[in-house]
Amino acid sequence: MPRIAYVDGQFVRHGDASVHVEDRGLQFGDAVYEVWAVRNGILFDSEGHLARLARSLAALQIKAPRADQSLMIVVRELMTRNKLKDGLVYLQISRGVARRDHPFPAHSRPSIILTARPMNMAQADARAAKGIQVQTRPDNRWGRVDIKTVNLLPNVLAKQAALEAGFQDAWFIDGSGMVTEGTAQNAWIVDSTGTLRTRPATHAILRGITRDTIIKTAQALGFAFEEKAFSRDEALQAREAFITSATSFVTPVIGIDGEKIGEGAPGPIARKLRETYLSQQTSVKKP
């Protein structure tokens, strides 16, 4: 079955899909994106991702090219055409095509790209059952990483460096020695007092949609929780650490820079949050 993409109003074979050479997403990174997880044919946290998309577009003064409902019709059609049961849906909206020049063009129509790809959930679950090791790297990103733009080069380079050094991912550290987040995930610990901690959602992190849902889940489960930054040393002294994102759900972090966290194995709180999150998402059919 051929993979199908969606580009500016048309469903096309993935291999034939293309954008204009003067698309501002390509020329300037003048574009935003979203990623949804799909499990058992269910789109996770769909409203949260749409709300963040609206915030990202507004921050860049790009007019939403489609209303949410109409966009979701396209997303669902893409899932159907790709027979997507377990996987990811990627959306990118750029300011559109215009003669290359820095200022916003007077008239441009935002471009939409949507792609879907399967994900092996058994492999993702096995990775979570084992836990991952991260490497810390200086956070050298721009000051508005709260906007979900496609400008991901520091994230790409940090991930690549971490993989080449034998780790599974990287955690960014800010100028004060505090963990900001992962290359494509929010960072969490269960600190030495048993309190769940993740960094407040300022301009220094992307406010993950999974993070927001996990905060509610943790509170509903009665876990102590605080939005408070933590240092690399606090993470090393923590009982547990984990990451959250649409692509990893909740995945335990068992080591940092080659040093173990706790027993060096996934902890009970991360495991409970992952199980609860997956069962909540897959038990409620989203509109």
Ligand X SMILES: Cc1ncc(COP(=O)(O)O)c(C=O)c1O
148 is annotated as an active-site residue: yes
Which residue in the set 12, 35, 121, 150 belongs to the binding site for ligand X (CB under 6 A)? 35
Residue 51 or 58 with smaller CB distance to ligand X = 51
Say which DSSP state 39 is in. Answer: E
Instruction: Check binding of 210 to ligand X (CB under 6 A).
Output: yes
Residue type, 154: P
- Amino acid identity for residue 276 in this structure: T
For ligand X, the closer of residues 141 and 239 by Cβ is: 141
24 vs 52 by CB, closer to ligand X: 52
Three-state DSSP at 24 gives helix
Q: Which two tokens stand for residue 130?
A: 């084992």
Figure out which of the listed residues 168, 185, 198, 217 binds ligand X, where binding follows CB under 6 A.
185
Q: Which is nearer to ligand X, 184 or 196 (CB)?
A: 184
Residue placing its CB nearer to ligand X in the complex, 98 or 113: 113
Judged by CB under 6 A, does residue 149 bind ligand X?
no
Q: How far is the CB of 285 from ligand X (least distance, A)?
A: 21
Q: Minimum distance between the CB of residue 83 and ligand X, rounded to whole angstroms?
A: 23
| Contact with ligand X (CB under 6 A) among 25, 208, 262, 266 | 208
If residue 76 lies in a helix (H) or strand (E), which one and from where to where? helix 68-81
Half-sphere exposure of 195 (CA within 13 A, CB side): 11
Q: What is the DSSP string of 144-180?
A: TTTS-BS--HHHHHHHHHHHHTT-SEEEEE-TTSBEE
Residue 65 CB-density burial (10 A; 0-12 exposed, 13-18 middle, 19+ buried): middle
The contacts of residue 238 (CB under 8 Å, 6+ apart) are 189, 190, 191, 192, 230, 261, 262
Provide the residue type at 136 as one letter: T
246 binds ligand X (CB under 6 A): yes
Least spacing, CB of residue 27 vs ligand X, in Å: 22
Residue 32 touching ligand X (CB under 6 A): no
- Stretch of 196-204, 238-246, 252-260, 261-269 contacting ligand X, by CB under 6 A: 238-246
How many residues of this chain interact with ligand X, rule: CB under 6 A?
A: 13
Which residue in 63, 148, 159, 228 is the catalytic one? 148
- Token pair listed for 205: 């992190």
Binding flag, residue 132, ligand X (CB under 6 A): no
Q: What tokens appear for 136 in the block?
A: 């810390």
Residue with Cβ nearer ligand X (111 or 155)? 155
DSSP 97: B
Minimum CB distance to ligand X, residue 101 (Å): 29
246: left (phi over 0), alpha (psi -120 to 50) or beta: alpha
Q: Which residues are catalytic?
A: 148
Site residues, ligand X (CB under 6 A): 35, 181, 184-186, 206, 208-211, 244-246
